[in-house]
Structure 1
Amino acid sequence: MILPKSHRLTPEQVAEITAIAGEFGCKIQPIIGAVRTIYAIVGDERDELMINRLEGLDYVERIDRIQSPFKLMDRRSDLASHRIKIGGVTLGEELLVVAGQCTIDPKNPNFFYETAAAVKEAGAHVLRGGVWKPRTNPYSFQGDVKSLDILMEASRRTGLPVDAEVMEEEHIGVALAAGVNMLQVGARNALNYSLLRAIGKAVAERDTVVLLKRGLHMGPLNEFISAAEYIAAFGNPNILLCPRGTAPTLDGYRNHPDESITPLLKEKTWAPVVVDPSHSVGKASYVPACALAAVAYGADGLCIEAHVSPNQGIGDDPKQAVTPDVLKQIIGQARQLWTLRRTGGKGEKA
């Protein structure tokens, strides 16, 4: 990883380091961070002659060689200073809340418009809405591209940025063209490396944020972070890691709640952690406690399913979506806990 002395290298300088790396079978990938652009060496960076030649350039401050499976996402990476912003929130400076319906019903758009207004009033920063839906049963409702128009209309009415899950490569371009601000990768695609690469390529020149959920199985944390590396390697480090419960399930819960992995992730990566309590527990009455537990463990944000009338919703909403009133209570309590955890009760950052 090449760290320049200036905020960004000139085209001529990029051409020079690219030529040097190319002699050793490597490529250069610019990664645009909040503070400065760094230049990742893609390939085997262990050749000492290549490193010596690059370090000898007068515009190179230093070269960091991080021996981990995720060089960009590693907490020792220079990207540790990168800050992700969405919905007026800078992750790490304020608790981010993503909220909305599991599934947008194209036959009842007003439900979603009402939900959008209500979650904004409750204090959410990003509006979520399921356009395309992964379903275990092939005969269940799989979503509808028409719902994308409803999602974007709700965004226009509320001014909130929106989050939508993409399941196939063709969804990516459609969602980005419509103006989706946050692409969500669901648990079933968490290790779909071809999809992750496609997303990385598509968002490389954008400020789009990617919400990457943890896979359904209880896999190693390195596997989770490495999946994020697939996206970041193309140049966009705006990635949020989202624990959402894993298999095998815990009796009484939809999944095995995994918000407790947050501090373990933070020991390995700089990436913000946004926990999904709705899928973790799968029952609306359990969501508030799970959300607060996530914040207590150090989560940077929450992704919560909410609906103005859950019983009339489709998908998972009838069983796990909270009402806007409950969402407002969760957000208020979560913010208090987040501040308490940050300050240690002393009124200033610990």
Structure 2
Amino acid sequence: MAVITTDHAVPHTSTVPANAGQKVELFVREHDGTPPGPPANRRAVLMLHGRSVPVLAGYDLQHTSYGWAEAVAKAGYDVFMMDLQGSGRSPRPRMEDPCNVNPAQQAAVTPPLMGPRPASYPYVLTNSQSDQDELGTVVEYIRTLHGVSKVAFIGWSAAAFAMGPYAVKNPGKVDSLFLLAPIFPPAGPSNPPALPAPGFPTHVLTRTPLDTAWTKELKCAGQREPGMLDVVWDALMDNDPIGRTWGKILASGEPAGASRYRNFVSWGWNSTTAAQGGVLGGSVPVLIVHGEHDQTANTTPPNPANPALDFHVPALYDAITGAHKILVTVKCAGHSMPWEVQHSNLHNMSKHWLKHHAVDGKTEGVFEMDLNGTISPAP
């Protein structure tokens, strides 16, 4: 199936405190693999990134078979990928100034930042409401652009903070929910803090901490193909023309680079939200997938002292009250599954889910997936 790729600049009135009320354009890439036929047969999918990975590096990695969005489009879907403000190719208000980086990470941006400096914008950048507002704008754009009534969601990691509550509030617009390694604090806060919240707008990720965090979850031989760290780091740098100029100068004469991502404050995504109205698992079928070695979405060890930072993927499955829910634990995989050897099986499972709203013919239950892609009931 031929796939047509289009980049969209979606108009939006910002509700991010740093640029509230301003007209901005959200970056959205579309891979349209819709087969010939009646327009009513078009099936739209929207993919959303997590906290630190821009959407193209996560879903559209241009390396052999790793392009998840393209794989789904080739199965006959119209696939959209969006960057929230503060990430990737969408606007990044207050993030150009290196002094607005997390003080604990400022050493990673010297030069151009010579020594610690207080933030010129001493607040957290985005929040749960602004993220849901931007998600809603893109959903309406897709619905209007192609005349579809519902959009299927695919979200990785912290995308759950926006996609989960949005689906609960707008079940008539969401076809289904596929959450990979969802960040879910069962006892997280229900109410927003005073906004803007004090803090700083920008985190940075550098190559060595990326490798360290990823390596910690590599528990199987061959779980990550050789050279993938370089592929992923290059993709992150391709999506941050400012961040790639930051950091110490290497022997090659090039800066080490830093991948900038937004600091955000979240609320309204917890066991109460997931159960609200019986929407999730009811009118919105839910598939939850996580790697058996994921220590990011499953807090290890648990952090009961800070419920907002105590994450448990199985707790989301337990909290959903509707019957149409599935939890799959993927063997030999971590939080970075889209960049690991299990990526092809992940792609296939998502395509099957989008078509049938089922896994291995089942619409409810807890399962495991092995390296061959075989699904079996969890012990």
When the two structures are superposed, what TM-score results if normalisation uses the length of structure 1?
0.30
Higher helix share: 1
The structure whose Rg is larger is 1
TM-score, normalised relative to structure 2: 0.28
